Amino acid sequence: MRIAISTGGGDAPGLNAVIRAVVLSAHNRGWQCYGIQRGFEGLLGFSGVVPLGPAEVRGITHLGGTILGTTNRGNPFRYIVKQPNGEEREIDRSDDLVAAFQASGFDALVSIGGDGSLQIANDLWKKGLPVVCVPKTIDNDVSGTQRSFGFDTAVSTATEAIDKLHSTAESHERVMVVELMGRYAGWIALNSGVSGSADVVLLPEIPFDIEKVCDKIRMREADGRHFSIVVVAEGARPRDGHIALVERRGVGTVDRLGGMGSQVARAIQDRTGKEVRTLVLGHLQRGGSPTTYDRLLALRFGAAAVRAIADCAFGCMVGLNNATITRVPLEEVVGRSRNVPLDSDTVVTARELGINLGD
Ligand code: F6P
């Protein structure tokens, strides 16, 4: 058996742990692994393919990032090429990819990625490529699994940041607004906001009313609490407004979200007269060593992917559901994102603790 491994899309803590588990589980079955560099680009003529054995994956479980490199511009079905006039154009290079996969004598592909990579993997599976996927994203928004690895680490980083903002907010009697990642799902903002005792948490799932947010800050003020911590998910939006974008991307990739934190900060300052500062935590949420939870989940996912290959269960994603590792058909996963249910226990808890959700 020759197994190819690819890491695609934005990186997440735990990628290296998955790679290690796949390589060791395969090696212990007498199989060989190869790493495709930079998403799928290694098979499309850029970068390359490297053999991966126990020596190559030694001591990487705790390392952030991915030893294989990644890109969120490497979709083989919508491959971006620069034309002589400088403009970018999409072409379909999926046949080149399938041909390179077959020419390399690979028997299976382990694709580790989020929604974009899962869509690519499903399309490659439909073209006959034997693929097994592992869900990766700090956003925790992949459907078919209750958890993706990387999320726990991101939430820990965000919670630590919120903890640290408390002392400076209180000393200066300021409102501190912190914008967190998560794309169109509020998992990171909700879990870290509740854990970090934020006063306001704004989620994409609950369009907010800025007056309600300001009422909370005024109430705290009247109570003698002269500071407030406001957590804003990057995908949050006002009831009567839009999501904030840093950049609308046309060709072969996704829009970049960002800017809602400073919009909310400006509105709070104008309406309450309080001094406000904004922090965009940004890619710190994707960095660093995976937490124990993420390491273990990543290792379990990697081993489960090899087990799926051993059972010839292709076209599936491994997932964590009710504390058990499951296999979910890719068809049931792609194109669906998993948002925070409004009746979830954490949302109810936030409300019962008096955290304002902007509604
Ligand atoms: O999907 C993971 C994520 O970190 C999102 O939370 C964020 O919106 C996006 O990726 C940022 O992507 P980029 O690395 O292209 O800036």
- Active-site residue among 139, 152, 199, 294? 139
260 lines ligand 1 (CB under 6 A): no
Instruction: List, for residues 45-92, the tens digit of each pLDDT value.
Output: 877 999 999 999 999 999 999 999 999 888 999 998 888 998 889 999
CATH topology match: 2-150+290-321 vs 155-286+342-352: yes
DSSP state of 237: -
* Alpha carbon 6 to chain centroid, angstroms: 16
**Amino acid 251: pLDDT:** 60
Domain ranges of the chain: 2-150+290-321, 155-286+342-352
CB proximity list for 160: less than 8 A, separation 6 or greater = none
C-alpha 353 – ligand 1 centre gap (Å): 30
Ligand 1 pocket mutation, candidates 70, 181, 281, 284, criterion most atoms within 8 A of CB = 181
CATH class of 2-150+290-321: alpha beta
Is the CB of 180 inside a 6 Å radius of any atom of ligand 1? Answer: no
Q: Residue 9, by phi and psi: left (phi above 0), alpha (psi -120 to 50) or beta?
A: left
Mean pLDDT throughout 120-138? 98
Whether domain 155-286+342-352 has CATH 3.40.50.460: yes
Give the C-alpha separation, 344 to 351, whole Å: 11
DSSP-derived letter for residue 354 is T
Please give the Cα distance from 12 to 339 (Å, whole number): 19
The pLDDT assigned to 45 comes to 85
Q: What is the DSSP letter of 149?
A: B
pLDDT one-digit tens code per residue, 268-297:
999 999 999 999 999 999 999 999 999 999
Cβ-proximal residues to 287 (8 Å cutoff; 6+ apart), any chain = 13, 64, 65, 157
Summarize pLDDT for 159-193 with one digit per residue, the tens: 999 999 999 999 999 999 999 999 999 999 999 99
d(CA 331, CA 103): 27
Question: Whose structure tokens read 């009831």?
Answer: 239
* Pairing verdict, β 228-233 and 256-257: unpaired
Closest residue by Cα to residue 24 from 316, 305, 324, 297 = 305
Average pLDDT over the chain, rounded to an integer: 96
As a whole-number percent, the residues of the chain with pLDDT over 70 amount to 99
pLDDT in tens, 234-275: 999 999 999 999 887 666 567 899 999 999 999 999 999 999
139 is catalytic: yes
> How far does the centroid of ligand 1 lie from the alpha carbon of residue 38, in Å?
16
Q: Please, where are the H alpha helices in the chain?
A: 15-27, 94-103, 115-126, 151-172, 187-195, 210-222, 260-272, 292-310, 345-352
Identify the burial level of 347 via C-beta atoms within 10 angstroms of its C-beta, where 0-12 means exposed, 13-18 middle and 19 or more buried. buried
pLDDT, position 247? 80
How far is residue 310's CA from residue 35's CA, in Å, rounded to a whole number? Answer: 19
Tens of pLDDT, residue by residue over 132-159, are 999 999 999 999 999 999 999 999 999 9
Q: How far apart are CA 283 and CA 304, in angstroms?
A: 29
Q: Tell me the average pLDDT across 212-239.
A: 98
pLDDT on residue 151 = 98
Compute the distance from residue 181 Cα to the ligand 1 centre, in Å: 7
CB distance 140 to ligand 1 below 6 Å: no
Pairing label, strands 2-7, 79-82: unpaired
pLDDT at 253: 64
More confident residue, 303 or 252: 303
Tell which phi-psi region holds residue 75, choosing left (phi > 0), alpha (psi between -120 and 50) or beta. beta
What distance separates the 2 farthest-apart alpha carbons in the chain?
A: 71
User: What angle, rounded to 10 degrees, do the helices at 187-195 and 151-172 form?
Assistant: 50
